[in-house]
């Protein structure tokens, strides 16, 4: 890290990774997210605290959930929101990333939400913005997806309470997954009972993730698990197209079905960060079944993004005036 995520008063300024946040920092975000949670069917929560603030969503990689939820989160907090159409922006004419940031900063953007396929981009932006400006990582290559890690932890806690006595199995393309990395960072900070990374040998991480156990056998990896999280095969991150597993063969070996999860605890919950490839990493009936909390993850994601925006706005508010 070249830029601290917390400012000199200990307030969250940037959210780039969960790795160097404390358990208390994470608890504060999740507590705030509970404040912004209302059941589906009720009017969505609203707040005016970001009135007069501007949030820019810069998605240099595809997204449905993260992009839509950051946009709705900022609007429900009364911010001015800019969703830059990256393909129609002057980056297509050769403008650099930082010149794009400086241009938007000159239009008084306070909070940048950034997704990029390259490692280090959110931190690079954080390193160059004005002191009052915040940068939020909305998905960085295979390295980090901190708001996903937070929403996954929040969802697990809502169903299982304290994670200290439970077994979580993350199944699939662990090697290319920023979701697995951020979930691991979040769960290990909360002393998860057992955390298993399960997948074919070639899709397991080359480096060891502290606090995890690795399984290349699905039945052993999910046996007695309380939580099973399926991951998509991240085709876009393979160096060689020929290395991408055959979907039918993959489903036969590692696809989650009602039958295959019979070895897990009877009250095990099924998670998936989305987007799903039904019939590859998960059977549609399981994804839509009574044990699935996949749609709840989406709902919690919006609450988490409202919470993060609300918390970093305290830094913007405290620092913005001090510069003039
Ligand atoms: N889980 C997730 O990041 O989904 P999107 O790619 O649709 O944002």
pLDDT band at 322 (very low <50, low <70, confident <90, very high): low
Ligand 1 in contact with 64 (CB < 6 A)?
yes
Of 176, 178, 274, 293, the one to substitute when testing ligand 1's pocket (max ligand atoms within 8 A of C-beta) is 274
CA 323 to centroid of ligand 1, rounded, Å: 36
pLDDT at position 234 is 82
Q: What are phi and psi of 6, to 5 degrees?
A: -100, 145
C-alpha span between 133 and 48 (Å, rounded): 19
C-alpha span between 193 and 165 (Å, rounded): 5
Tens of pLDDT along 256-296? 999 999 999 999 999 999 999 999 999 999 999 999 999 99
Ligand 1 in contact with 137 (CB < 6 A)?
no
Average pLDDT, the chain: 95
* pLDDT for residue 181 is more than 90: yes
pLDDT band at 206 (very low <50, low <70, confident <90, very high): confident
* Stretch 89-103: mean pLDDT: 95
CA 8 to centroid of ligand 1, rounded, Å: 32
Ligand 1 in contact with 274 (CB < 6 A)?
yes
Q: Where are the beta strands (DSSP E) in 141-217?
A: 167-171, 194-198, 213-215
Ligand 1 in contact with 149 (CB < 6 A)?
no
Return the closest-CA partner of residue 189 out of 169, 206, 210: 210
Q: Report the residue count for the chain.
A: 324
pLDDT at position 324 is 46
* pLDDT for residue 2 is more than 80: no
CA 324 to centroid of ligand 1, rounded, Å: 38
* pLDDT for residue 123 is more than 90: yes
CA 115 to centroid of ligand 1, rounded, Å: 10
Tens of pLDDT along 162-172? 999 999 999 99
**This prediction's pTM:** 0.96
pLDDT band at 320 (very low <50, low <70, confident <90, very high): confident
CA 49 to centroid of ligand 1, rounded, Å: 26
The single residue listed with the structure tokens 């698990």 is: 225
Q: What are phi and psi of 65, to 5 degrees?
A: -60, -50
Tens of pLDDT along 17-61? 999 999 999 999 999 999 999 988 999 999 999 999 999 999 999
Of 60, 62, 65, 114, the one to substitute when testing ligand 1's pocket (max ligand atoms within 8 A of C-beta) is 65
CA 106 to centroid of ligand 1, rounded, Å: 29
Ligand 1 in contact with 305 (CB < 6 A)?
no
* pLDDT for residue 242 is more than 90: no
* pLDDT for residue 205 is more than 80: yes
C-alpha span between 224 and 216 (Å, rounded): 16
Binning the chain into helix, strand and coil, the percentages to the nearest 5 are 40, 15, 40
Highest mean pLDDT pick, 36-45, 122-131, 242-251 = 122-131
Contact 278, 284 (CB under 8 A): yes
CA 277 to centroid of ligand 1, rounded, Å: 13
> Residue of the nearest CA to atom 4 in ligand 1?
65
N-to-C CA span, the chain: 28
CA 181 to centroid of ligand 1, rounded, Å: 15
Q: In the chain, count H helices and then E strands.
A: 10, 9
CA 279 to centroid of ligand 1, rounded, Å: 19
Using the atom order of ligand 1, give the atom closest to the CA of residue 67: 8
HSE-up (13 A, CA, CB side) for residue 303? 26
> Residue of the nearest CA to atom 6 in ligand 1?
63
Q: What are phi and psi of 194, to 5 degrees?
A: -150, 135
Of 273, 277, 294, 300, the one to substitute when testing ligand 1's pocket (max ligand atoms within 8 A of C-beta) is 273
Q: Which residues is 59 bridged to in the sheet? A: 115
Strands 167-171 and 194-198: parallel
> 297: which 2 tokens?
């993850």
Q: Where are the beta strands (DSSP E) in the chain?
A: 54-59, 80-83, 111-116, 134-140, 167-171, 194-198, 213-215, 227-230, 269-271
pLDDT at position 256 is 98
Cα-based distances in Å from 87 to 55, 83, 91, 189: 19, 12, 8, 38
């Amino acid at each position: 890290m070249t830029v601290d995520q917390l400012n000199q008063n200990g307030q969250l300024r940037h959210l780039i990774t969960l790795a160097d946040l404390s358990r208390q920092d994470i608890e504060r975000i999740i507590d705030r997210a509970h404040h912004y949670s209302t059941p589906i069917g009720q009017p969505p929560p609203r707040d005016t605290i970001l009135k007069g603030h501007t949030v820019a969503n810069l998605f240099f990689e595809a997204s449905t959930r993260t992009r839509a939820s950051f946009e709705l989160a900022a609007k429900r907090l009364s911010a001015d929101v800019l969703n830059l159409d990256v393909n129609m922006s002057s980056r297509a004419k050769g403008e650099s990333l930082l010149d794009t940031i400086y241009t938007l900063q000159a239009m008084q953007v306070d909070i940048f939400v950034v997704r990029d396929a390259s490692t280090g981009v959110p931190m690079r932006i954080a390193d160059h913005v004005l002191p009052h400006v915040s940068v939020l990582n909305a998905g960085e290559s295979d390295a980090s997806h901190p708001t996903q890690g937070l929403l996954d932890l929040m969802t697990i806690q809502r169903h299982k309470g304290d994670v200290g006595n439970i077994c979580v199995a993350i199944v699939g393309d662990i090697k290319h997954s920023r979701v697995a990395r951020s979930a691991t960072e979040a769960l290990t900070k909360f002393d998860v009972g057992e955390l298993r990374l399960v997948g074919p040998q070639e899709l397991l991480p080359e480096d060891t993730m502290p606090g995890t156990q690795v399984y290349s056998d699905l039945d052993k990896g999910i046996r007695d698990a309380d939580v099973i999280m399926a991951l998509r095969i991240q085709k876009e991150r393979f160096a060689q197209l020929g290395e991408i597993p055959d979907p039918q063969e993959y489903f036969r070996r590692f696809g989650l079905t009602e039958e295959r999860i019979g070895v897990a605890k009877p009250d095990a919950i099924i998670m998936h960060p989305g987007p799903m490839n039904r019939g590859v990493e998960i059977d549609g009936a399981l994804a839509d079944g009574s044990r699935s909390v996949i749609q709840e993850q989406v709902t919690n994601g919006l609450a988490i993004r409202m919470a993060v925006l609300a918390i970093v706005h305290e830094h913007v508010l405290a620092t913005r005036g001090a510069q003039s």
